[in-house]
């Protein structure tokens, strides 16, 4: 049986100041203004869609309000009238920076894509500053294995002493090929190894995606674009295996829809947003599979807050 860490509780954290940015939506191609605000303890991450005829609509960033949508993670209000799409990079940055509570205001239906990674959001959070709050940070501890799969893809949660991820991708592309990445998650490791990894796509798929109303705002400024055996971005890659690192970035953002950091080992194989959402739905449907507890100082010793090196990294194999 897993031994739970002890020690003093770690406090929740929010933003010290509000901060704003603007950009375009990756899929809508529309300009959107976004503001990140501090929030009270136990608020969690709360999105607020402004500029609507009936007034602002708030949607908690939890799995109960998430819906399956192509190529991104989307929240919807219970009536289904208001949606906020492509939240995964921002959610990943909030988790990676240890933010428990924040109010995110947008005047559009999609979080701005910025440069296609989480790094601009990390920068915004650091510019706003952080503030510890008088309430313990709550984490979800995995008590037994939970797994979902479909042909040639799967994602699994197992008990563990920290939050760790392992991911493998495989594409019929000489540029991407097969890549794996594994790491214990900490603020230091996230900023160093994950935050700058950008989303990616293939040039031959652009027309089809845009016909579906997707990737309308995509460009070399906010995505890695692959054409056959070459990368079209003038600066090339930020990491040798940037593709799989971005998939880890996405996975962490989607897992934060649990409502807090997940203490356990996550293993993904070619999984995407929809499969991760199904994993959370299956997890919370089984009351014996998870447990809330306070995060403690002992968790930091296991890597949750310390700067830790990656466990394993395998670059692309042609």
Catalytic residues: 273
> In the sheet that 102-106 helps form, which strands lie side by side, from edge to edge?
19-24, 31-37, 102-106, 45-49, 57-60
Which ranges constitute the DSSP H helices of the chain? 88-96, 119-128, 187-193, 206-211, 242-255, 273-285, 297-301
Helix (H/G/I), strand (E/B), else coil: 75: strand
Distance CA 36, CA 254 (A): 19
CA distance linking residue 94 with residue 142, whole number of Å: 21
Integer Cα distance of 139 and 105 in angstroms: 25
Token pair for residue 44?
Answer: 């969690």
Please state, as a whole number, how many other Cβ atoms lie within 10 Å of the Cβ of residue 107.
16
**19: which DSSP letter?**
E
Assigned token pair, 236 = 């090339």
Q: Cα–Cα distance between 304 and 48 in angstroms, integer?
A: 29
DSSP string, 148-212: EEETTEEEEEE--SSEEEEEEEE-S-TTT-EEEEEEE--HHHHHHHTTTPPPEEEGGGHHHHHHT
| Phi, psi torsion values for 150, nearest 5 degrees | -145, 175
Q: Is 22 helix (H, G, I), strand (E, B) or coil?
A: strand
Q: Which token pair is 181?
A: 């990445």
For residues 218 and 126, give the distance between their C-alpha atoms in angstroms, rounded to a whole number: 26
């Amino acid at each position: 049986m897993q031994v739970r860490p002890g020690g003093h509780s770690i406090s929740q954290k929010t933003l010290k100041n509000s901060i704003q940015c603007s950009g375009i939506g990756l899929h809508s191609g529309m300009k959107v203004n976004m503001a990140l605000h501090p929030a009270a303890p136990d608020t969690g991450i709360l999105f607020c869609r402004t500029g609507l005829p009936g007034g602002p609509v708030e949607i908690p960033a939890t799995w109960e309000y998430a819906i399956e949508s192509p190529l991104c993670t989307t929240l919807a209000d219970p009536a289904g009238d208001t949606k906020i799409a492509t939240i995964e990079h921002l959610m990943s940055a909030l988790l990676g920076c240890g933010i428990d509570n924040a109010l995110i205001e947008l005047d559009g239906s999609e979080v701005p894509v910025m440069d296609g990674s989480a790094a601009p959001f990390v920068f915004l959070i650091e510019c706003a500053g952080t503030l510890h709050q008088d309430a313990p940070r709550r984490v979800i501890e995995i008590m037994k294995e939970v797994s979902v799969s479909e042909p040639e893809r799967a994602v699994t949660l197992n008990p563990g002493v920290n939050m760790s991820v392992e991911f493998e991708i495989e594409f019929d592309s000489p540029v991407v090929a097969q890549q794996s990445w594994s790491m214990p998650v900490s603020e230091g490791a996230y900023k160093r190894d994950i935050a700058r990894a950008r989303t990616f796509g293939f040039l031959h798929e652009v027309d089809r995606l845009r016909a579906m109303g997707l990737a309308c705002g995509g460009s070399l400024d906010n995505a890695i674009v692959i054409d056959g055996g070459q990368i079209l971005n003038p600066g090339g890659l930020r990491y040798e295996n940037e593709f799989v690192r971005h998939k880890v970035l996405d996975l962490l953002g989607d897992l934060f829809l649990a409502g807090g950091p997940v203490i356990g080992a996550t293993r993904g194989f070619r999984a995407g947003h929809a499969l991760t959402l199904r994993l959370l739905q299956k997890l919370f449907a089984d009351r014996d599979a998870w447990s809330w507890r306070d995060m403690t100082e002992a968790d930091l010793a296991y890597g949750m807050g310390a700067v830790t090196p990656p466990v394993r990294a395998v670059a692309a194999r042609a």
